[in-house]
Amino acid sequence: MTMKRREFLKTAAIGAAGAGAIAAPAIAQSAPSIKWRLTSSFPKSLDTIYGAAETFSKIVAEATDNKFQIQVFAGGEIAPALQALDVVQNGTVEMFHTAMYYNWGKDPTFAFGTAVPFGLNSRQGNAWMYQGGGLDLYNKFLTDYKVIAFPGGNTGAQMGGWYRKEIKSPADLKGLKMRLGGFAGVVLQKLGLVPTMVPGADIYPSLEKGTIDAAEWVGPYDDQKLGFNKVAPYYYFPGWWEGGAMLHFGINLEKYNALPKGYQAIIRAAAAFANIDMQAKYDANNPAALKKLVAAGTKLKPFPQSVLEACYTAATQTYAEIGAKNAKFKAMHDAYMSFRNDQYLWWQVAEYNFDNFMIRQRAKR
């Protein structure tokens, strides 16, 4: 080997080593070590709805080789359950996991992120958010609150709640004190009901003490855990105000924008998985829980048609009243309801008829 060739190989080797030395910091810089906190609006005892945040956090950590760690805190640990948006908006905490309609008092438009009376079911909600322009529209609204959010769970169609007495007509709602979130409370006020907002962990003692006469939470799996059947015997369905209640992971917008693009993509992917996984858990666990509740003496009843009709009329009136005063609400409402109408045009063809047939076949067994 000539002297020149030996010198060339030596120089190349040194160059390769140098390139390796430069490459390592570049990789580390693109995947920095980050530790965030996430405040949930839910207690740890509700493993499905609270657990969605833990699922999300685990995926983010695994996808980044534990370089991006997000510690989850239950409602009340680092922020009150119903103030998750506030602490993320002001940058005190990086993330939240909540039902966006808890922020109804700030602007009724928030409700479209979770559920509105006689709105979309869970699959339709996902279609609106992911493919129907809903997520872009919603995040445009959230820029005023310095937050960006992504779907992070769904309960599916909820139950209509637990009542101390029977609901036979709209008149039975008058004067009823009920734990009820979001838009539904305003609608039911038109029928004389008195809504009150109580965090999930405080519902049972409020029912037990008689502070409230009725309460709704989610459905059989959670409701059985919370023991509502012990203090209110009547269990009504459907929860027409939450045909598919969607949860969101919300992030301080400035902190999200500062993340590497790869971390942003991981957050979106982890949120999407948690969104699917949460409803899958509810769908898998609700049947057994409902059987146990009924076996224990729960009186399972559908809302009378007269009640549903009265509530639908009240909801339509409420939409019009708020939309006349709130341009953001009206814009969101118009887009959402247009999508809903097309969805049910399709739903009445294949989905409804398939489900209806299968339900009748089960009844024959």
Residue 248 lies in a domain: yes
Q: At what angle do helices 47-63 and 261-295 cross, to 10 degrees?
A: 150
**Model confidence band, residue 18 (pLDDT cutoffs 50, 70, 90):** very low
Residue 65 lies in a domain: yes
* Residue of 289, 295, 255, 306 lying closest to 95 (CA atoms): 255
Across all residues in the chain, what is the average pLDDT? 92
What local confidence, expressed as pLDDT, does residue 181 receive?
Answer: 67
Distance CA(89)–CA(98), nearest Å, equals: 13
What local confidence, expressed as pLDDT, does residue 131 receive?
Answer: 98
Q: At what angle do helices 327-347 and 122-130 cross, to 10 degrees?
A: 120
138-156 pLDDT per residue, tens: 999 999 999 999 999 999 9
Query: In the predicted model, what is the mean pLDDT of residues 95-100?
Result: 98
Residue 47 lies in a domain: yes
What is the amino acid identity at position 356?
N
Rounded to two decimals, the pTM is 0.89
Contacts of 243 (CB under 8 A, 6+ apart): 115, 118, 119, 120, 121, 122, 157, 158
CATH number at residue 85: 3.40.190.170
Residue 311 lies in a domain: no
Please state the domain count of the chain.
1
279-335 pLDDT per residue, tens: 999 999 999 999 999 999 999 999 999 999 999 999 999 999 999 999 999 999 999
What local confidence, expressed as pLDDT, does residue 166 receive?
Answer: 97
Residue 41 lies in a domain: yes
**Model confidence band, residue 349 (pLDDT cutoffs 50, 70, 90):** very high
Residue 343 lies in a domain: no
Residue 256 lies in a domain: yes
Residue 148 lies in a domain: yes
Containing domain of residue 90, as a range? 33-153+244-283
Tokens linked to 315: 């909801």
